[in-house]
């Protein structure tokens, strides 16, 4: 009887030891992941702060409205090519965009008028959330970015978006986007970064940073 009790006691202690070790390893893993994600999130935030995006939204998803969206997009990009050619920072690009809003607004209005479209259009600067975005040469993390936004009509259709600074989608941009630091550049160009960006996007939605 005593031997059986001793065996049960040893088994209980053994299970407790396993649970304690498992809990300790889990805590250690949580600390490591927290530190890793904290550093990763900080670097991703640097990338967001050094990016000015362009967002064009169509009136609706009809074929005509989607085609008009692309026509306005092309006109805006052509107009922006000279404007942003000398931008050396996101802050500089945003200042250029802000000062050029009347010119860009007039460009969008003129394009619609020449196409025989009577829809209103609004061009303005804002901060908005973007999901993780995959381009041919690099990937941008999910999060809130400064953006030049173009809203056509009811702006209820599919959108088109790209990057004004660094000048990824400008007609004169022949090279991939270049970020201020090597770490930022490596982040957006790293192979296999999709898993980390997926985790970051999940974290953004979990903490409510993704907006509505």
134 beta partners? 139
pLDDT digits (tens, 9 = 90+) for 153-182: 999 999 998 899 987 777 654 455 578 888
pLDDT digits (tens, 9 = 90+) for 28-58: 444 445 445 578 888 889 999 999 999 999 9
Q: How far is CA 202 from CA 37, 39, 190, 195, 197, in A?
A: 12, 16, 19, 11, 8
Residue keyed to tokens 């031997």: 3
- Asked whether residue 8 carries a pLDDT value surpassing 80, the answer given is no
For CA atoms 81, 86, 88, 89, the dihedral sign is: negative
113 against 204, higher pLDDT: 113
145 against 169, higher pLDDT: 145
Residues 6+ apart with CB under 8 A from 13: none
Say how far apart CA 63 and CA 69 lie, in whole Å: 10
123 beta partners? 150
Residue 154 DSSP label? T
Instruction: Kindly report the pTM of this predicted structure.
Output: 0.76
């Amino acid at each position: 009887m005593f031997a059986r009790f001793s065996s049960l006691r040893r088994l209980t202690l053994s299970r407790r030891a396993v649970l304690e070790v498992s809990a300790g390893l889990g805590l250690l893993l949580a600390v490591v992941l927290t530190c890793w994600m904290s550093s990763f999130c900080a670097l991703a935030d640097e990338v967001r702060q050094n990016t000015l995006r362009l967002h064009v939204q169509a009136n609706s998803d009809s074929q005509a409205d989607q085609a008009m969206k692309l026509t306005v997009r092309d006109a805006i990009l052509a107009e922006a090519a000279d404007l942003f050619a000398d931008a050396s920072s996101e802050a500089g690009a945003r200042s250029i965009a802000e000062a050029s809003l009347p010119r860009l607004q007039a460009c969008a209005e003129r394009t619609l008028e020449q196409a025989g479209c009577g829809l209103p259009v609004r061009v303005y600067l804002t901060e908005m959330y973007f999901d993780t975005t995959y381009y041919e040469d690099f990937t941008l993390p999910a999060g809130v970015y400064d953006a030049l936004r173009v809203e056509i009509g009811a702006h209820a259709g599919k959108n088109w978006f790209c990057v004004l600074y660094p000048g990824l989608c400008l007609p004169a941009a022949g090279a991939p986007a270049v970020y201020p630091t090597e770490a930022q550049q490596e982040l957006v160009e790293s192979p296999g970064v999709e898993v980390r960006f997926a985790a970051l996007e999940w974290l953004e939605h979990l903490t409510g940073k993704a907006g509505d």
